[in-house]
Structure 1
Amino acid sequence: MTSPSSKATARTSSEARAVGRTRTLLPAGTTTGTGAVRRTTLPGGLRVVTETVPSVRSATFGIWAHVGSRDETPALNGATHYLEHLLFKGTRTRSALDISAAIDAVGGEMNAFTAKEYTCYYARVLDTDLPLAIDVVCDMLTGSLIRAEDVDVERGAILEEIAMTEDDPGDCVHDLFAHTMFGDNALGRPVLGTVDTVNALTADRIRRFYRKHYDPTHLVVACAGNVDHDTVVRQVHAAFAGAGLLGDGNAEPIAPRGGRRTLRAAGRLELLNRRTEQAHVVLGMPGLARTDERRWALGVLNTALGGGMSSRLFQEVREKRGLAYSVYSYTSGFADCGLFGVYAGCRPSQVHDVLRICRDELDQVAAQGLTDDEIARAVGQLRGSAVLGLEDTGALMNRIGKSELCWGEQMSVDDMLTRIAAVTPDEVRSVARDILGQRPSLSVIGPLKDKQAARLHDAVA
């Protein structure tokens, strides 16, 4: 005898099959939860990916767009981020207040972020309120009005956001470093745009940008938590079909970004002289693309070198000498290139000592590598942080959405942990020679005097 709930499940499963192609990517038991990761491709090329975690009472629903600041021309710099703001300003059926009030009324959270290669809009709610989150976020993505008056109003908010970033040199120095490494091209320009480019953007130009980059083939829907895949598919299909966006049944999703790019930025130096209490520095060099198989070894190297309180840079710069409060290393991987950087914030009088120590450590690790103990500790730290970072539905949604958009596939947490654990000391030493053996470039923000500024060239010699 079939229970009513079983009949309902069978019905929604058949409905999902009727509107798209469904695959189970990761079976139950292989993820951080006890459910599966499944993908359905709807007519029109829209992908819906879910991860079911029955043990929680929340759900996070997000839509990822295959567009970021690197897709902008110089005149359109900042358009992707501007558009992110405007999609919250109202649709055919909801005002800006209606959008925010709907999620606030159920205690949910809603936000968005723009990066260099993608944009994401999301809402986190109780599992019982997931239909509302789907309806609101899909309405924003498919029915935004982008009215001229909203463009004018939001321009002021974005200019204030740019000013806020400019007032935070610890944040601003990373934009400066991107420009130092990439120059005046899309990856070297700020995600927010500049005062001049934001002031020049019009409603018509933003609408054209919206129509070009927000069709279903460029989008990935990601949902994680106490969710049913077939139900999510059915609701998303209804939302996009109602907006008239699923008409072409033969359309295929856009492929992950590809291409080859060789980044050459040896010995470049950029100094932005400002009256700040600290000097903020980033010393770095080209890294690896996010698809490079050596990224696992680079992750271990980065963790051991500057990823925690036991890392070399933290110990040498802060613990032993007290020259900086914040010092760390990081990697940024794009589709075809990457960055490796070391950041430190210190008193202007100490900037040359900090840079000398950082450069000495990079050179030493490039020449001699890390010890086996350092590598083992970094592997353990990286494996633990990878899992602990996936303890909420928002992180799970980010993981499966970004994986689908950027790699076109899903990797289980178990497989990820296996890949990290499989990194050998020889692989770490090899990637250290390749990455850290390059001549670095340097970006600095701070109140440096002429003689101090002249000496900065020593760090990149």
Structure 2
Amino acid sequence: MVWNLPLLESGNPDNELSVQQDGAVVRRTVLPGGVRVLSEQLPGQRSASIGAWVNVGSRDERSGHFGSTHFLEHLLFKGTKRRTAMDIAEAFDAVGGEANAVTGKENTCYYARVLDTDLPMAVDVISDMVTSALIDPDELETERGVILEELAMNDDDPGDVVHEKFSETVLAGHDLGRPIGGTPETINAVPREAVWEHYQNHYQPETLVFTAAGNIDHDALCAQISDELVRGGWNLTPGATPRVRRDTTPIEGIGLEGRELTVTRQVEQANVIIGSTGITGTDERRFQLSVLSAVLGGGMSSRLFQEIRERRGLAYSTYCFGSSHVGIGTFGLYAGCAPSKIDEVSKLMVVELEKMADSGITESELKRSIGQLSGSLVLGLEDSGSRMNRLGRAELVTGELLSLQESLERIKSVTREEVQTLAAELAARPRSVVRVGPFAA
């Protein structure tokens, strides 16, 4: 069953949606102010996961604000009008729960996983953080140092560097190409006033989505969220409309030419990614891409793993990946190997992609990949956090929530011909190469 998620107005008689999916009850409510609440009730489960999603990511930053989205992810844990940073930390430690946040290119999520009896506490704390963060100047300066250390840590990892630079190279000229966490230059440059302005502009009722999964009482959850947001000083205007989803029109003019980039690092193992633009997050072919990726580089039986690692012993890790955003995506082939083997490994990865484009995949590969993806999907949804994330993506990106059965059917419906057609399209796109290792730039 496919459950469509229209952007309903709060106060509208139709602002409630409910459906039975996979033995669970999924409900969606639009509260006054345009705040959306989605929950999946899982009978018998003692844990619950809650996420507060703000529809803002690094792609939404403008000049002078670069790095602000990731800065806010840190600063919301540093204190509110009612809580210190220690209060926030102790609240979750005291009940054996966990709380964290993640910044993406298109969304930011503050989430927690706790026992079902502690869910009201988690909602209280996260709502307080979202509505009432102080963005204290002294805390900001302390956290500036923490973020700079985080960026330095990532820069010391050639695997992180090659992925970051690959995105920058393929998506050059678009905001999606900028690093999520900012750069040392932008983090050092952004003033408190810019971070505060970014917070005020984007952390609003119409951009906020709460998702929860586990032993959830949806009505009680909605009532508490409304109370907490009002308590935090937000004006929940009746009849307000949620912010529209991002325009899904494909982004043109990006990735039209292949580029090469070499990043010099004195490391024992070189890292390389070869790839191009991919498919968008709303593309119906995302299930075909999943099958393609599983066959080409998604596990120990994949072509890249078997050819490069098992048969030739040239690399420990090799795989392919797709990163999908609204309007555009990337697709890449990765390997880590001895610097002296970088050209040989790069050639082998391209050969495997082109073989798939020319000759397709076998029936046994198709069946194996479908089984791999189906099992992974089912096992992943045994975790309340995965289900909470699924609700957030459905609401903010695709506008539809697939039942487990529908997802499995879409995976099983993928054909060899469809995979070959997609592989041929990806193989024909302008190809970029990014290397990180002891090479001359």
Q: TM-score, normalised by structure 1?
A: 0.91
Alignment partner, residue 116 of structure 2: 127
Give 3-state SS (helix, strand or coil) of 2:34's partner.
Answer: coil
Counterparts of 1:206-285 in structure 2, within 5 Å, are 206-258=195-247, 259-262=249-252, 263-285=254-276
2:367 to 363, 376, 379: 376
Cα displacement (A) at 1:236? 0.5
1:60 to 40, 49, 61: 49
Kindly indicate whether residue 347 of structure 2 is the aligned counterpart of residue 356 of structure 1.
Answer: yes
AA at the equivalent of 2:16: R
Range 387-396 or range 334-343, more displaced: 387-396
Decide whether the 8 Å contact of 1:26 with 1:410 is kept in 2: no
Cα displacement (A) at 1:392? 1.0
Give 3-state SS (helix, strand or coil) of 2:401's partner.
Answer: coil
Instruction: For 1:223 and 1:80, locate their aligned partners in 2 and report how far apart those are by CA, in whole Å.
Output: 23
Alignment partner, residue 84 of structure 2: 95
Decide whether the 8 Å contact of 1:22 with 1:38 is kept in 2: no
AA at the equivalent of 2:140: V
Q: 1:48 to 1:292 in 2, by over 3 A?
A: same
Q: 1:343 to 1:265 in 2, by over 3 A?
A: farther
> Alpha-carbon deviations, 1:14-54, whole Å to 9, x = none?
xxx98986533431xx23xx321100000100000000001
More contact order relative to length (CA 8 Å, sep ≥ 6): 2
Range 242-251 or range 38-47, more displaced: 242-251
Decide whether the 8 Å contact of 2:260 with 2:433 is kept in 1: yes
AA at the equivalent of 2:391: I
Alignment partner, residue 25 of structure 2: 36
AA at the equivalent of 2:222: V
Instruction: For 1:182 and 1:425, locate their aligned partners in 2 and report how far apart those are by CA, in whole Å.
Output: 29
Alignment partner, residue 45 of structure 1: 34
Alignment partner, residue 10 of structure 1: none
> Alpha-carbon deviations, 1:169-188, whole Å to 9, x = none?
11111100011101153111
Decide whether the 8 Å contact of 2:11 with 2:31 is kept in 1: no
Instruction: For 1:240 and 1:19, locate their aligned partners in 2 and report how far apart those are by CA, in whole Å.
Output: 20
AA at the equivalent of 2:77: F
1:194 to 174, 183, 186: 183
- Runs of 4 or more consecutive aligned structure 1 residues displaced over 4 Å after TM superposition: 17-22
Instruction: For 1:405 and 1:246, locate their aligned partners in 2 and report how far apart those are by CA, in whole Å.
Output: 22
Decide whether the 8 Å contact of 1:288 with 1:337 is kept in 2: yes
Instruction: For 1:409 and 1:26, locate their aligned partners in 2 and report how far apart those are by CA, in whole Å.
Output: 12
Decide whether the 8 Å contact of 1:21 with 1:41 is kept in 2: no
Instruction: For 1:19 and 1:356, locate their aligned partners in 2 and report how far apart those are by CA, in whole Å.
Output: 58
1:319 to 273, 292, 310: 310
Cα displacement (A) at 1:412? 1.2
> Alpha-carbon deviations, 1:305-356, whole Å to 9, x = none?
0001000000000010110101010111100011111111111011111001
Give 3-state SS (helix, strand or coil) of 1:276's partner.
Answer: coil
| RMSD of aligned residue pairs (Cα, Å) | 1.6
Alignment partner, residue 3 of structure 2: none
Instruction: For 1:46 and 1:144, locate their aligned partners in 2 and report how far apart those are by CA, in whole Å.
Output: 18
Cα displacement (A) at 1:88? 0.4
Instruction: For 2:325 and 2:43, locate their aligned partners in 1 and report how far apart those are by CA, in whole Å.
Output: 34
Instruction: For 1:296 and 1:381, locate their aligned partners in 2 and report how far apart those are by CA, in whole Å.
Output: 13
Instruction: For 1:436 and 1:384, locate their aligned partners in 2 and report how far apart those are by CA, in whole Å.
Output: 28
Decide whether the 8 Å contact of 1:302 with 1:329 is kept in 2: yes
Alignment partner, residue 337 of structure 1: 328
Alignment partner, residue 99 of structure 2: 110
* CA radius of gyration, larger in: 1
Alignment partner, residue 23 of structure 1: 16
Identity of aligned residues (%): 48
Q: 1:265 to 1:317 in 2, by over 3 A?
A: farther
Instruction: For 1:380 and 1:25, locate their aligned partners in 2 and report how far apart those are by CA, in whole Å.
Output: 30
AA at the equivalent of 1:168: D
AA at the equivalent of 1:230: D
Cα displacement (A) at 1:107? 0.5
Instruction: For 1:70 and 1:183, locate their aligned partners in 2 and report how far apart those are by CA, in whole Å.
Output: 12
Alignment partner, residue 310 of structure 1: 301
Give 3-state SS (helix, strand or coil) of 2:315's partner.
Answer: coil
Instruction: For 1:74 and 1:370, locate their aligned partners in 2 and report how far apart those are by CA, in whole Å.
Output: 46
Decide whether the 8 Å contact of 2:255 with 2:430 is kept in 1: no
Instruction: For 1:92 and 1:71, locate their aligned partners in 2 and report how far apart those are by CA, in whole Å.
Output: 27
Cα displacement (A) at 1:86? 0.5
Decide whether the 8 Å contact of 2:38 with 2:211 is kept in 1: yes
AA at the equivalent of 1:26: V
Decide whether the 8 Å contact of 2:29 with 2:38 is kept in 1: yes
Kindly indicate whether residue 308 of structure 2 is the aligned counterpart of residue 328 of structure 1.
Answer: no
Give 3-state SS (helix, strand or coil) of 1:55's partner.
Answer: coil
Alignment partner, residue 140 of structure 2: 151
Q: 1:193 to 1:425 in 2, by over 3 A?
A: same
Decide whether the 8 Å contact of 2:281 with 2:324 is kept in 1: yes
Give 3-state SS (helix, strand or coil) of 1:410's partner.
Answer: strand
Instruction: For 1:334 and 1:22, locate their aligned partners in 2 and report how far apart those are by CA, in whole Å.
Output: 28
Alignment partner, residue 294 of structure 1: 285
Alignment partner, residue 456 of structure 1: none
Give 3-state SS (helix, strand or coil) of 1:76's partner.
Answer: coil
**Which structure 2 residue ranges, 5 or more long, are not aligned?**
1-9
AA at the equivalent of 1:121: Y
Alignment partner, residue 150 of structure 2: 161
Range 216-225 or range 374-383, more displaced: 374-383
Instruction: For 1:409 and 1:251, locate their aligned partners in 2 and report how far apart those are by CA, in whole Å.
Output: 22
1:432 to 383, 404, 423: 423
Instruction: For 2:225 and 2:144, locate their aligned partners in 1 and report how far apart those are by CA, in whole Å.
Output: 31
**Which structure 1 residue ranges, 5 or more long, are not aligned?**
1-16, 454-461
Q: TM-score, normalised by structure 2?
A: 0.95
Instruction: For 1:294 and 1:123, locate their aligned partners in 2 and report how far apart those are by CA, in whole Å.
Output: 32
> Alpha-carbon deviations, 1:218-274, whole Å to 9, x = none?
111001001111111111111012223243212111122113302324321010011
Cα displacement (A) at 1:296? 1.2
Instruction: For 1:66 and 1:372, locate their aligned partners in 2 and report how far apart those are by CA, in whole Å.
Output: 41
Residues paired across the two proteins, number = 430
Decide whether the 8 Å contact of 1:283 with 1:441 is kept in 2: yes
Range 380-389 or range 243-252, more displaced: 243-252
AA at the equivalent of 2:255: R
Range 255-264 or range 88-97, more displaced: 255-264
